[in-house]
């Protein structure tokens, strides 16, 4: 027998053995089990691949919480950043569980209006978020923000990790020591407690009710005051070169 014929015979023998194993497997499986076997064979690899892909995306998603007066305005400011997927309006820093807007707006629960920022940590770092935060608040105002007065509108940074706390504290100290602002910074930095999402009608209010939102923002004088505070400051002192 020639070598080539011998090789073909061996290959055919292996194929036959494989077919027999496949046939025997099918023979001893019940119809329902056979259907499951086929589905797993066909779809499990792609399902695992999709699962790994989703896990990778979730691993890159990070959270940050800031308070800067009206949460409608803070939502707009942060959702404009490349790398931020969502900013959710809510309440933080109080003593009442699951507070309502009516309760918080009275100023008796200890909460402040805040936003929860969801962002891609591979595109955007926490320091960039801090830069956006400071430029959207009046840090020396300890009685509220702009036209909204009371502790329920106080500015604040609510770190979720030790690294966030360290970066937030360093940014505040650098900004305070720079003497760029007209007074001492009143913004609080406190580890995040429970964040309670606000009612649905508050979420993306600037998109759902653009006319009312723009009227409120203009009458509140937010942009005018921010221009007075930050207009001449090109770069904040805690940012790297």
- Quick one: angle between helices 71-79 and 210-220, nearest 10? 110
pLDDT class of 56 with cuts at 50, 70, 90: very low
Summarize pLDDT for 135-174 with one digit per residue, the tens.
999 999 999 999 999 999 999 999 999 999 999 999 999 9
Which pTM value belongs to this model? 0.76
At residue 55, does pLDDT exceed 50?
A: no
Q: Is 147 a catalytic residue?
A: no
136 is a domain residue: yes
Nearest by Cα to 157 from 125, 123, 130, 194: 130
Averaged pLDDT for residues 199-205: 98
Q: Is residue 238 part of a domain?
A: no
**CA geometry: angle at 14 spanning 12 and 15, to 5°?**
65
Domain extent, residue 142, equals 60-230
Q: Is the same domain home to 224 and 107?
A: yes
Please report which confidence band the pLDDT of residue 48 belongs to, taking 50, 70 and 90 as the band edges: very low
189 and 145 housed in the same domain: yes
Output the domain CATH number for residue 67: 3.30.1060.10
Tell whether the model's pLDDT for residue 230 goes beyond 80.
Answer: yes
- Number of domains, the chain: 2
- Are residues 82 and 36 located together in one domain of the fold? no
**Whole-Å CA distances, 20 to 7, 26, 59:** 20, 10, 45
Structure confidence by residue, pLDDT tens digits, 171-196: 999 999 999 999 999 999 999 999 99
């Amino acid at each position: 027998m020639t070598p080539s014929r011998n090789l073909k015979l061996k290959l055919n023998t292996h194929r036959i053995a494989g077919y027999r194993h496949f046939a025997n497997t099918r023979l001893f499986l019940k119809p329902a089990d056979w259907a499951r076997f086929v589905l797993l064979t066909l779809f499990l690899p792609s399902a695992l691949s999709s699962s790994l892909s989703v896990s990778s995306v979730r691993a890159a998603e990070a959270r940050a919480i800031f308070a800067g007066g009206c949460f409608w305005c803070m939502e707009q400011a942060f959702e404009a950043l490349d790398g931020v997927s969502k900013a959710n309006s809510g309440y933080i820093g109080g003593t009442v569980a699951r507070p309502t807007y009516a309760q918080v707006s009275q100023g008796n629960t200890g909460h402040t209006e805040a936003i929860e920022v969801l962002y891609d940590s591979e595109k955007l770092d926490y320091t960039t978020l801090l830069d956006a935060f400071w430029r959207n608040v009046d840090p020396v105002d300890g009685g509220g923000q702009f036209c909204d007065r009371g502790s329920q509108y106080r500015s604040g940074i609510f770190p979720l990790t030790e690294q966030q706390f360290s970066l937030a504290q360093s940014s505040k100290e650098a900004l305070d020591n720079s003497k760029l602002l007209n007074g001492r910074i009143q913004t609080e930095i406190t580890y995040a407690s429970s964040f309670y999402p606000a009612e649905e009608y508050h979420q993306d209010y600037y998109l759902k009710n653009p006319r009312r939102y723009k009227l409120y923002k203009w009458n509140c004088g937010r942009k005018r005051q921010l221009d007075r505070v930050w207009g001449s400051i090109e770069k904040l002192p805690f940012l790297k070169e």
